[in-house]
Every structure is written in structure tokens, then in C-alpha cells.
């Protein structure tokens, strides 16, 4: 079998044991390629476990900058005997396996059509290090060194990363550099370097940054002015609150007094987390919680209260595989309906769908504005794929000129001047009433907040007309939300396209790559990235202007499609669901295959013959 | 309850407090609870306490859960903001509100169903965190609004109005609060205003988590023979350990009242205020958490209801102190205080390449 040959376009997958210290070495590998100007897209595929179970790290090297998961593996770094057979099976024909050859493996353990690269890693470690922990940790750095030789990765790039990481810790720096060259030199001496897969310096990274979505969302919350964060640990959102804590320690400690301009409470459960956020929002502080699907289920009662009592709340939902405990460490977009209609009774909530860390930053900050402007819960619908993987994205930006939108706050001065205050009075016709904060005025503007029905002046009322009046105003408010949320982004095909595709969130890189591949196959597709619910009119127009529209999602039940049909009166027969929900991030290959299949069913003859 | 609103006019000699408010200024809407309900007496005690303390009514935030007791914040301090939240979740809402603005007084009102059953988790954790608040449970042993089911504080062996005997062990919220770290724990009886008003005042002044378990008979569903929460039973079995004779803090005159004989103990609080306790039970030390817990349990076993200031920590810590939060209320912070700005963001970008 001819070995695979590719420059700056291949997939390396690391199969490791959880807790073996491989994560940082693997990330160094990805970063070193970035430093060579070649885009990479890494993904952690990890178990719900701290130590012992299998974990993988997949790095897609992509000159063209396709940041979605590609599928398939060209080089497997097989460091985990538990998953050996499965890992070997996954390698593309002509691909490579790199493994620890200290103990000989029978021939039956390999495949005829792959190329085997063995290095006695354990032996090298045992003869170099005496401390068992060092033997384990440096094994990762040694294979990193070997890979630099095998793939033509510049060792100077890795050294540079070491020196940034171990600034001021010279001893650690030296020992890591030593281990790196131990592996590199051994490979250069004993293996044929480089192999068919190579990294060539390029200039395609630009000024983009490399960060995970949870950190980005946390930073967005800091910039957006959140001062209260209440949360309960849950994968995959925990690192968001922890990241908020570390950014706050950096940016929100008063230099003179040493006191914090933030309060973070790790609550006893998700009910308390959202309760604290509701209390803080009611009292005028910007507050948020970060959670995942099971947390949303628990928070639902409070979400209904915040909707009905009209309290600003920001919820960042880092979605994982559901239902129930589901797949805690796998990705999905399966909370869309649960969040859009969270809680009993007639409720509807604002959802924002970030595509990457940059938008996690932007939307988290914007959600805090929207929540106060609309006095309602606002959800940032990220997911594990964006949240827990470092992703290349545009640098963060902040407009100093733009003030926080505190919404309609009735002040002491206005009350004193005799302003007519009714807590649920629609003064401006946009469905958004004015609110006062507790303690504003000694005798005016006080009111009783409740989850029960009330009249325009916040007085308890179960009278039908009062109830209907209030519910209709809430509906008007939702219409107003439509004009305030981020607009959809259109990606037009360069050729006239009969098919449209709607997508959102982490599907973005796979969809954009699929558009290119489909165009090559003669199936041009216009794609619209939905960034918020309620849907802007552009979304409905897009659906109406294409005979068929694929709705590409990462859930089983076509949840966004349901929302489109339910809430925007889009003709259901135009919409064709493309659904990926096995817990792995959706790939361009999957989207292309599905669309090609449907395109054939809808009797469209491709211009070029389909090759698949 | 009464259907007739009190006229806004009041007698010109109705006394005003130091800041010019009469008791009427601390009233709220007309109660919709049953005539004779203990909860209305507690509302009246809250009104009296706030008036006596010269608190500006709008500087109090009233929070509650769901149930008869949780409706009461509508019936006092009508110019204050109130929040009738969801069942059993008042503590978390109060915690968030307190974090947003540390300058207000937070008064949480709950019931035994709200706090000892559905909300026992939040009850526990708000005490653990030491949120600066007054948390009052209006404890009647039954679910009133749903017509007389036992609550989790109902005594084992007590009988419901329908004749059902409660077989479950009771939750003692005061004992729980003591164990969980509340820095002020008291128990009182809605029918003993003389004891209750000073306790509420002391709880308001206390700069930490103050809990008051107030036995408040339900006249509709739990005031019969066989109940251990009836007016009659509580009067007979009330075992007060002390009485707050008068309270004093800077800028205030002492209020002296005649009380029964007994030893007087002064408790100086962190802010300089002094509580004077007249001991009614020999050897009861309200500074000792462990003794307090033992004493309550021993008397509980005898079917007695121990009331009074059960425990006070004169130098309590609260959540804000634990979180080292800034002095300025968070809800008044501006973008300048909160946003690190674009130059800092450029640095972050540079570190991510």
C-alpha cells in the first residue's frame, strides 16, 4: 500500500490513557503547527473519568483553514493498549501508526495496509529517568519530539512554546527540551523521517487567536459587566465558571482596597444557582449562570418565574449529549427546544447561537445587555465542541464607546419628578415596561414581584382580561426581541443555488467546508447561519426563497426545524432535516453525504457526476 | 381577615419615630389570611420592630417563597420592594439580591412547608453561607393554603384536624440552623409580642445570618386538641430561656421595659450595639452553640417549646466578608468599574497566539 502523502492537510489522532499527562503534550503539538502558520483544529474526545479510561486528542492540520472535524485518521499515535484494536481500525488505508515498541506485538495486531512506526518509548524513559512520574510525563514529550521529526515540525517552534510555558522555571524548561530532543534524535536515527505527511511553514493563521469557548464566554461575561456568577459543577460547563473566576481575579480586584468587584457562588445545586442569578438580576446586578442540559431541566421553574416576573437573567448552556445524564462528555445541540420553551405555561425565551469562541465572547457580553433591555432570561447556546476545545478564531474586540445597555430603569429623579410608574405598563409600545430597583425611592416605585398573575401596576389579579393583557404584552416584547438579537449570516454560493441550508452554532466550520465540497460536486448551496431565536425575518425569507432548505443540526429530533415551523410559519415541506447526533462533532463529509443523497431524491441532476 | 381597608387618615397624635414615620407608614396591603392567623401577628411585630428601629421602609427588601406565610410580605412595608419567588427557593433569591446590593436590609419570610420540606436544601445552604439577613419561618406545622396536610415540622404523634396521627419525625429548624452555622438563632411565639418584637429587632441589627423560628398557630387547620401547634398547647409548653430587656446601639436611646426578675447579661455586637438578655432559665448560655443545641433537644424531648434568643455570635462573619466583596453595591457599579477595556483585551489576544 502506497503511504499517504499530504502536506498541511491531514489528521493526527492521539490515543492516550486519561490522567497520564498527555493533554498538555498533545496541545503543544497543535500549537507548534499553528506557530508555523498552518491552521489546526484540535478536539478532545474524553471520558467521564479522571484517571484510567481511554481518551483521545485529534488534530486536524488544515492549510485551507477548515476547522470542523474531518473524520478518518491519517496518523494514529497509539499510546493506549486498551483501545489498540479500535484505534488501528480507524486508520485510513495507507496511513500510519506510531506506537511504543518496547514490548513486541504480534503481527496480527497490525494491518497490512498501514505503515508502522515503532519507538521503544518505555525503554528510553526507563533508562533515562528513575522517578515513575517523570517516566510517564516525559514519555509524552519524547513522542512529541519523535513526531516533530516524522512530520517535519520545526522543533524551534516547540522550544519556543516551552520557554513561554516555563518562564522563570529554567529547570523544567531544560528537562522538557532535553526530552524533546531525546525523542526527535531517536526518530531521526532509527526511523525514516519525514513520512508522507508533512507540515510546511505557511502564512494562513494571520492574527487569529487560539482559545476554548468556555474561557471566551467567561471573558465575555467579564467584559459584559457580570458581577454575580452562581453555578453548580457540571460537565462541560464547569471550566466556564472557573475561567470567570480567574479572569475576575485578574481584572476585578480593586487595586487600592484589594476587594472584589465580583461574587462567585458555587451553589448547592442548579436550582440555587439560577435562584441567586434571579435575585441578583432583580436587584440590578448583572448576573449569569453556566450549566448544561441537566441543569436546564432543574432550572426550569425559575426560568418561568424570570420570564413572567420579567427579571434579567443570563444562562450559558454548554450543551452535551442528552437526554438524562446522556453523554456527559460528548457534544450535541439538543437543548434548543428545552431552552426555547423552558418552564410550564406559555413561555418563550431568547436564544443566541455562537459559532466559535469569538462569538462566545461577543454573545455572552451581549446577552447581559439583552437580558436587561428585555428584562427576561437570555440563553447563550454553546456546546461541548466549542466550549471545551481550543479553536482558532478571530481576535476579540471591544468597542470602548459602547456603554452597557441597562434597559428601562426608572430612577429616583424621574419618580421624584412625578413619572407615572406601573411596573408592567407598556409605555413605549414595545412590550418592555420600566422597572425600579429595590431601595430607589422612599414612597414611590415600590412594588411586589411575583410569579402570580398581576395587573399593569403589579397588583395581584386573576382576572382574565388582566392576564390576557399581560400575556399579549409579553408576546409584543418577544417581537421586539427579534429586532435586537444578532442577525443571521448569509453565505451565498458563487453559482445560482436551488438548495438552501440553515445551520447554527458549532456546525459552522463543517457546514462551510461542506459548501465548498458540494460546489465542487456540482451542488451549489446557499447557507444561512441562524444566530438567534426569535428568528429574524431574514430567516423566513431565506426559507421561502429556496425550494428546499436543509436544516443541519446536531440532535435527533430536528429541534431548530421544529422551532422554524412552530414559531415562524415556515412551510414544513420545504425543510429537509440533516441530523448528526452520535455525540461526535458533525463533519463536512457527513453533511455532504446527506445532502448529496437528498439532492438525488429531490431529482436534481448534478452538473458533474457524483463521485462517492 | 378584614375586607375593609383602613383609612389612610390617622389620628394626629399617632407617634412618629426618629425619622418621622408613624407605624401606619410601615403597613402594607390588607391581609387575606384567616381571622386570628398567627402570621398576621408576626406581620404586626415586623411593623413594630421596623418602626422602633427607625428603618426607612424602602431600604428593606422582603423576600418569600410560596404559601400562607410567603404571602405576608404584601401585608407589611408597603413601600418596600417585595419578591414572592418560587416554593422553597427564597433563600437563593435572597442570596442573589444581597450580593447585588449589600446596603439594603434583607428580610426573608417563609413557612414550615416552604423551608422544612421543599426548601430544606436552600434553607441549609443559606445558613452555611452566612448571608446577612433575617430569616423568619412562620411555623404552624401544616400546609394551610392546600388545606391542612402535615408539614415536616409537625411533631410525631400530633393529630391533624381530620384525625390523622403524624408518624414522621419532626424537623427542628432552629436546631438545624444552629448546626449549620447561623450566627443568630431565636424562637418565639406569634402570641407573645413582648418576646417577638425585640427578637426581630435584634435579628435585624445582627450583621449575619439571623434565623427566627416563630410558632404561629393555623386557626383554620391546626388549632385543635391533639395539635402541638395550637395557641393553647404553645402557651402551656412555652419554656422561654431569656428575654431581651432592651436593646441599645449608637445614636439611640435605651428603651427600658419592666420584666421579671433574673440575671441580666449584656451581649456587645460587632457594630457596637448591645443586647441585654434577662435570663429566665438558669445556666442557659446564649453564647454557646453546643449548649444551645443540647438544651433545645432535651426540652424538645419533654414536649416543651424552648423560646427566646437561643444563640448569638457577637462577631459574626457574613457572605460578603467571605467573598471579600467591594463596599459599593454591585448594582451601582459602572462599565468603568467592571470592564477591563480594549487595551487589556489586546494583551489577551496576544497571549493566545
Question: For residue B353, which residues of chain A lie inside 8 Å, CB to CB?
Answer: 34, 205, 207-210
- The answer to whether the Cβ–Cβ distance between A442 and B82 falls below 8 Å is no
Calculated CA dihedral for residues B161, B162, B163, B168, nearest 10 degrees: -80
Q: Report residue B32 as a C-alpha cell.
A: 387575606
A160 interface with B at CB cutoff 8 Å: no
Res. A607 pLDDT band, cuts 50 70 90? low
What distance, in Å, lies between the first and last C-alpha atoms of chain B? 69
- The answer to whether the Cβ–Cβ distance between A451 and B85 falls below 8 Å is yes
What confidence score (pLDDT) does residue A68 get? Answer: 97
Determine whether B176 is exposed, middle or buried from the number of CB atoms within 10 Å of its CB (0-12, 13-18, 19+). buried
- The answer to whether the Cβ–Cβ distance between A207 and B330 falls below 8 Å is no
What confidence score (pLDDT) does residue B253 get? Answer: 39
Burial code (b: 16+ CB inside 10 Å, e: under 16) for A1-40 equals: eeebeeebbbbbbbbbbbebbbbebbbbbbbbbbbbbbbb
Please say whether the beta carbons of A403 and A321 come within 8 A.
no
- The answer to whether the Cβ–Cβ distance between A257 and B326 falls below 8 Å is yes
The 3-class secondary structure across A390-409, one letter per residue, is EEEECCCCCCCCCCCCCCCE
Rounded Cα distance, A537 and A485, in Å: 12
Give Cα A9 to chain centroid, integer Å. Answer: 23
Average pLDDT of span A177-191: 97
Give me the total of CB pairs closer than 8 Å, taking one residue from chain A and one from chain B.
Answer: 228
Please say whether the beta carbons of B155 and B226 come within 8 A.
no
Whether domain B23-351 has CATH 2.40.128.30: no
**Which CATH number applies to A6-198: 3.40.640.10, 3.50.50.60, 3.40.309.10, 3.40.920.10?**
3.40.920.10
> Residue A137: beta bridge partners?
none
Rounded Cα distance, B180 and B177, in Å: 5
What confidence score (pLDDT) does residue B271 get? Answer: 65
What confidence score (pLDDT) does residue B9 get? Answer: 75
pTM above 0.90, yes or no: yes
Helix (H, G, I), strand (E, B) or coil at A73: strand
Q: Of A416, A411, A409, give the one whose Cα is nearest residue A432.
A: A409
Dihedral sign, Cα of residue A232, residue A238, residue A242, residue A247: negative
Rounded Cα distance, A528 and A538, in Å: 9
What pLDDT digit, counting tens, does each position of B315-333 carry?
999 999 999 999 999 999 9
B290 interface with A at CB cutoff 8 Å: no
> In this structure, what are the phi and psi dihedrals at residue A567, rounded to the nearest 5 degrees?
-110, -10
Res. A47 pLDDT band, cuts 50 70 90? confident
Please say whether the beta carbons of A433 and A375 come within 8 A.
yes
What pLDDT digit, counting tens, does each position of A380-397 carry?
999 999 999 999 999 999
Question: For residue B55, which residues of chain A lie inside 8 Å, CB to CB?
Answer: none
What confidence score (pLDDT) does residue A156 get? Answer: 96
Question: For residue B89, which residues of chain A lie inside 8 Å, CB to CB?
Answer: 271-272, 275, 301-302
What confidence score (pLDDT) does residue A118 get? Answer: 97
- The answer to whether the Cβ–Cβ distance between A448 and B56 falls below 8 Å is no
A439 interface with B at CB cutoff 8 Å: yes
Please say whether the beta carbons of B130 and B156 come within 8 A.
no
Res. A456 pLDDT band, cuts 50 70 90? very high
What pLDDT digit, counting tens, does each position of B232-280 carry?
999 999 988 888 864 544 333 333 334 454 566 776 766 666 767 777 7
What pLDDT digit, counting tens, does each position of A364-376 carry?
999 999 999 999 9
> Residue B64: beta bridge partners?
B84, B109
What pLDDT digit, counting tens, does each position of B134-158 carry?
999 999 999 988 988 999 999 999 9
By C-alpha distance, the chain B residue nearest A270 is B92
Please say whether the beta carbons of A141 and A165 come within 8 A.
no
Please say whether the beta carbons of B103 and B54 come within 8 A.
no
What confidence score (pLDDT) does residue B257 get? Answer: 37
Helix B38-52 × helix B193-205 angle, to 10°: 50
What pLDDT digit, counting tens, does each position of A318-365 carry?
999 999 999 999 999 999 999 999 999 999 999 999 999 999 999 999
| Range list of β-strands (E), B183-252 | 184-189, 209-215, 238-240, 242-248
Rounded Cα distance, A33 and B254, in Å: 76
What confidence score (pLDDT) does residue B283 get? Answer: 77
Question: For residue A276, which residues of chain B lie inside 8 Å, CB to CB?
Answer: 92-93, 95-96, 99
Percent with pLDDT over 70 in chain A: 98
Question: For residue A231, which residues of chain B lie inside 8 Å, CB to CB?
Answer: none
What confidence score (pLDDT) does residue A583 get? Answer: 96
> Residue B16: beta bridge partners?
B22
Alpha helices in chain B (DSSP H): 38-52, 68-71, 90-100, 112, 120-129, 173-180, 193-205, 231-237, 289-301, 319-323, 335-338, 342-351
B58 interface with A at CB cutoff 8 Å: yes
Q: Report residue A80 as a C-alpha cell.
A: 493506549
Dihedral sign, Cα of residue A253, residue B98, residue A233, residue A226: negative
Average pLDDT of span A163-168: 92
What pLDDT digit, counting tens, does each position of A570-580 carry?
999 999 999 99
Calculated CA dihedral for residues B14, B15, B20, B25, nearest 10 degrees: -50
Percent with pLDDT over 90 in chain A: 93
- Chain B, window 84-143: residues with a beta carbon less than 8 angstroms from a chain A beta carbon: 84-86, 89, 91-101, 103-104, 121-122, 124-125, 129
Q: Report residue B39 as a C-alpha cell.
A: 402570621
Which helix (H) or strand (E) segment holds residue A601: the answer is helix A588-601
Which helix (H) or strand (E) segment holds residue A140: the answer is helix A132-150
DSSP string computed for A227-270: -EEEE---TTTHHHHHHHHHHHHHHSB-TTT--BS-EEEE-SSH
What is the average pLDDT value for chain B, to the nearest integer? 90
Question: For residue A209, which residues of chain B lie inside 8 Å, CB to CB?
Answer: 349, 352-353
CATH class of A489-601: alpha beta
Domains of chain A, residue spans: 6-198, 211-393, 412-484, 489-601
A222 interface with B at CB cutoff 8 Å: yes
Res. A445 pLDDT band, cuts 50 70 90? very high
Please say whether the beta carbons of A320 and A362 come within 8 A.
no
Please say whether the beta carbons of A53 and A74 come within 8 A.
no
- The answer to whether the Cβ–Cβ distance between A441 and B58 falls below 8 Å is yes
> Residue A43: beta bridge partners?
A58
**Which CATH number applies to A211-393: 3.40.50.620, 3.40.50.970, 3.30.2310.20, 3.30.530.20?**
3.40.50.970
Q: Do domains A6-198 and A489-601 have the same CATH topology?
A: no
Res. A81 pLDDT band, cuts 50 70 90? very high
Helix (H, G, I), strand (E, B) or coil at A350: strand
Average pLDDT of span B169-185: 97
pLDDT at A593 over 50: yes
Dihedral sign, Cα of residue A239, residue A241, residue A245, residue A248: positive
- The answer to whether the Cβ–Cβ distance between B330 and A227 falls below 8 Å is yes
pLDDT at B282 over 90: no
Rounded Cα distance, A448 and B64, in Å: 11
SS3 percent helix, strand, coil of chain A, rounded to 5, is 40, 20, 40
Rounded Cα distance, A236 and A387, in Å: 7
- The answer to whether the Cβ–Cβ distance between A439 and B89 falls below 8 Å is no
Please say whether the beta carbons of A55 and A45 come within 8 A.
yes
Rounded Cα distance, A585 and A90, in Å: 16
pLDDT at B336 over 60: yes
What confidence score (pLDDT) does residue A608 get? Answer: 58
What is the average pLDDT value for chain A, to the nearest integer? 95
Rounded Cα distance, B158 and B45, in Å: 28
What pLDDT digit, counting tens, does each position of B195-210 carry?
999 999 999 999 999 9
What pLDDT digit, counting tens, does each position of B77-120 carry?
999 999 999 999 999 999 999 999 999 999 999 999 999 999 99
Question: For residue A305, which residues of chain B lie inside 8 Å, CB to CB?
Answer: 85-86
What confidence score (pLDDT) does residue A309 get? Answer: 98
Please say whether the beta carbons of A52 and A80 come within 8 A.
no
Closest partner residue to B331 among A305, A437, A460, by Cβ? A437
Burial code (b: 16+ CB inside 10 Å, e: under 16) for A54-68 equals: bbbbbbbbbbebbbb
- Decide if the complex's ipTM is over 0.90: yes
Q: Report residue B43 as a C-alpha cell.
A: 406581620
Please say whether the beta carbons of A432 and A477 come within 8 A.
yes
- The answer to whether the Cβ–Cβ distance between B98 and A277 falls below 8 Å is no
Closest partner residue to A260 among B319, B325, B353, by Cβ? B325
Question: For residue A287, which residues of chain B lie inside 8 Å, CB to CB?
Answer: 96, 100
B73 interface with A at CB cutoff 8 Å: yes
Rounded Cα distance, A533 and A380, in Å: 11
Res. B167 pLDDT band, cuts 50 70 90? very high
Amino acid at each position: 500500500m502506497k503511504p499517504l502523502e499530504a502536506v498541511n492537510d491531514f489528521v493526527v489522532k492521539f490515543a492516550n490513557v486519561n490522567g497520564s499527562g498527555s493533554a498538555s503534550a498533545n496541545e503543544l503539538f497543535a500549537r507548534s503547527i499553528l506557530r508555523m502558520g498552518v491552521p489546526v483544529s484540535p478536539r478532545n474526545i474524553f471520558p467521564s473519568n479522571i484517571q484510567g479510561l481511554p481518551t483521545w486528542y485529534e488534530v486536524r492540520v488544515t492549510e485551507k483553514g477548515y476547522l470542523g472535524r474531518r473524520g478518518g485518521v491519517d496518523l494514529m499515535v497509539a499510546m493506549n493498549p486498551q483501545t489498540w484494536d479500535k484505534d488501528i481500525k480507524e486508520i485510513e488505508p495507507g496511513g500510519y501508526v506510531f506506537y511504543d515498541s518496547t514490548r513486541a506485538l504480534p503481527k496480527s495486531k497490525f494491518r497490512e495496509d498501514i505503515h508502522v512506526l515503532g519507538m521503544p518509548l518505555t525503554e528510553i524513559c526507563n533508562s533515562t529517568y528513575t522517578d515513575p512520574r517523570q517516566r510517564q510525563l516525559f514519555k509524552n514529550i519524547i513522542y512529541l519530539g519523535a513526531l516533530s521529526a516524522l512530520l517535519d515540525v520545526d522543533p524551534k517552534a516547540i522550544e519556543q512554546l516551552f520557554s513561554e510555558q516555563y518562564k522563570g522555571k529554567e529547570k523544567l524548561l531544560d528537562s522538557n527540551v532535553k526530552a524533546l530532543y531525546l525523542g526527535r534524535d531517536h526518530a531521526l536515527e532509527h526511523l525514516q523521517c519525514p513520512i508522507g505527511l508533512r507540515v510546511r511553514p505557511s502564512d494562513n493563521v494571520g492574527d487569529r487567536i487560539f482559545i476554548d469557548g468556555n474561557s471566551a464566554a467567561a471573558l465575555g461575561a467579564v467584559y459584559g459587566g457580570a458581577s454575580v456568577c452562581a453555578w453548580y459543577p457540571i460537565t462541560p460547563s464547569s471550566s466556564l465558571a472557573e475561567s470567570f473566576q480567574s479572569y475576575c481575579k485578574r481584572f476585578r480586584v480593586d487595586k487600592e482596597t484589594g476587594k472584589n468587584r465580583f461574587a462567585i457562588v458555587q451553589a448547592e445545586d442548579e436550582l440555587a444557582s439560577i435562584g441567586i442569578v434571579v435575585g441578583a438580576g432583580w436587584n440590578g446586578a448583572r448576573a449569569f449562570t453556566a450549566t448544561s442540559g441537566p441543569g436546564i431541566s432543574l432550572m426550569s421553574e425559575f426560568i418561568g418565574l424570570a420570564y413572567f416576573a420579567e427579571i434579567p437573567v443570563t444562562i450559558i448552556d454548554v450543551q452535551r449529549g442528552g437526554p438524562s445524564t446522556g453523554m456527559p462528555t460528548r457534544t450535541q445541540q439538543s437543548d434548543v427546544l428545552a431552552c426555547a420553551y423552558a418552564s410550564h405555561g406559555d413561555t418563550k425565551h431568547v436564544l443566541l447561537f455562537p459559532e466559535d469562541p469569538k462569538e462566545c465572547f461577543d454573545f455572552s457580553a451581549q446577552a447581559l445587555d439583552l437580558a436587561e433591555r428585555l428584562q427576561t432570561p437570555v440563553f447563550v447556546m454553546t456546546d461541548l465542541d466549542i466550549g471545551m476545545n481550543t479553536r482558532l478564531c478571530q481576535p476579540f474586540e471591544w468597542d470602548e464607546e459602547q456603554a452597557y445597555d441597562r434597559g428601562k430603569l426608572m430612577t429616583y429623579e424621574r419618580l421624584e419628578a412625578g413619572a407615572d410608574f406601573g411596573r408592567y405598563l407598556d409605555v413605549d409600545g414595545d412590550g418592555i415596561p420600566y422597572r425600579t430597583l429595590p431601595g430607589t425611592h422612599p414612597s414611590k416605585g415600590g412594588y411586589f414581584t411575583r410569579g402570580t398573575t398581576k395587573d399593569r401596576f403589579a397588583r395581584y389579579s386573576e382576572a382574565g382580561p388582566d392576564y390576557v393583557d399581560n400575556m399579549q404584552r409579553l408576546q409584543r416584547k418577544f417581537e421586539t426581541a427579534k429586532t435586537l438579537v444578532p442577525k443571521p449570516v448569509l453565505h451565498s454560493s458563487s453559482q445560482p443555488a436551488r438548495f438552501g441550508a440553515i445551520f447554527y452554532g458549532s456546525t459552522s466550520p463543517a457546514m462551510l467546508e461542506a459548501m465548498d465540497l458540494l460546489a465542487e460536486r456540482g451542488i451549489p448551496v446557499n447557507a444561512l447561519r441562524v444566530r438567534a431565536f426569535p428568528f429574524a425575518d431574514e430567516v423566513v425569507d431565506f426559507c421561502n426563497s429556496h425550494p428546499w432548505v436543509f436544516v443541519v443540526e446536531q440532535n435527533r429530533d430536528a429541534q431548530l426545524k421544529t422551532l422554524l415551523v412552530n414559531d415562524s410559519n415556515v412551510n414544513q415541506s420545504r425543510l429537509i432535516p440533516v441530523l448528526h447526533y452520535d455525540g461526535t462533532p458533525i463533519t463536512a463529509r457527513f453533511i455532504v453525504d446527506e445532502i448529496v443523497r437528498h439532492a438525488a431524491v429531490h431529482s436534481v441532476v448534478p452538473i458533474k457526476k457524483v463521485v462517492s | 381577615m378584614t375586607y375593609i381597608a383602613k383609612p389612610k387618615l390617622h389620628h394626629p397624635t399617632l407617634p412618629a419615630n426618629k425619622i418621622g414615620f408613624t407605624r401606619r407608614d410601615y403597613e402594607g396591603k390588607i391581609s387575606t389570611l384567616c381571622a386570628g392567623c398567627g402570621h398576621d401577628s408576626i406581620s404586626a411585630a415586623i411593623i413594630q420592630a421596623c418602626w422602633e428601629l427607625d428603618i426607612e421602609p424602602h431600604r428593606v427588601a422582603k423576600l418569600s417563597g410560596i404559601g400562607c406565610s410567603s404571602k405576608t410580605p404584601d401585608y407589611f412595608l408597603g413601600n418596600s420592594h417585595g419578591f414572592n419567588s418560587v416554593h422553597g427557593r427564597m433563600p437563593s433569591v435572597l442570596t442573589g439580591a444581597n450580593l447585588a446590593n449589600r446596603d439594603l436590609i434583607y428580610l426573608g419570610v417563609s413557612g414550615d412547608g416552604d423551608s422544612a420540606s421543599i426548601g430544606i436544601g436552600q434553607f441549609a445552604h443559606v445558613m452555611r453561607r452566612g448571608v446577612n439577613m433575617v430569616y423568619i419561618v412562620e411555623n404552624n406545622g401544616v400546609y394551610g393554603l392546600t388545606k391542612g396536610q402535615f408539614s415536616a415540622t409537625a411533631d410525631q404523634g400530633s393529630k391533624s384536624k381530620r384525625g390523622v396521627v403524624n408518624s414522621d419525625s419532626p424537623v427542628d429548624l432552629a436546631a438545624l440552623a444552629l448546626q449549620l452555622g447561623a450566627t443568630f438563632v431565636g424562637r418565639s411565639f406569634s402570641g407573645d409580642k413582648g418576646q417577638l418584637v425585640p427578637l426581630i429587632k435584634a435579628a435585624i441589627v445582627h450583621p449575619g445570618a439571623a434565623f427566627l423560628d416563630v410558632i404561629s398557630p393555623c386557626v383554620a387547620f391546626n388549632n385543635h386538641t391533639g395539635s402541638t401547634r395550637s395557641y393553647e398547647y404553645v402557651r402551656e409548653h412555652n419554656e422561654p430561656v431569656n428575654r431581651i430587656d432592651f436593646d441599645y446601639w449608637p445614636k439611640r436611646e435605651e428603651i427600658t421595659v419592666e420584666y421579671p426578675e433574673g440575671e441580666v447579661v449584656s451581649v456587645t455586637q460587632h457594630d457596637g450595639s448591645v443586647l441585654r438578655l434577662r435570663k429566665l432559665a438558669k445556666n442557659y448560655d446564649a453564647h454557646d452553640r453546643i449548649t444551645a443545641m443540647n438544651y433545645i433537644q432535651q426540652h424538645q424531648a419533654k414536649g416543651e417549646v424552648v423560646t427566646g434568643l437561643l444563640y448569638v455570635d457577637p462577631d459574626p462573619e457574613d457572605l460578603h466578608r467571605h467573598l471579600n466583596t467591594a463596599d459599593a453595591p454591585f448594582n451601582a457599579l459602572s462599565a468603568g468599574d467592571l470592564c477591563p477595556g480594549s487595551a487589556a483585551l489586546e494583551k489577551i489576544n496576544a497571549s493566545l497566539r
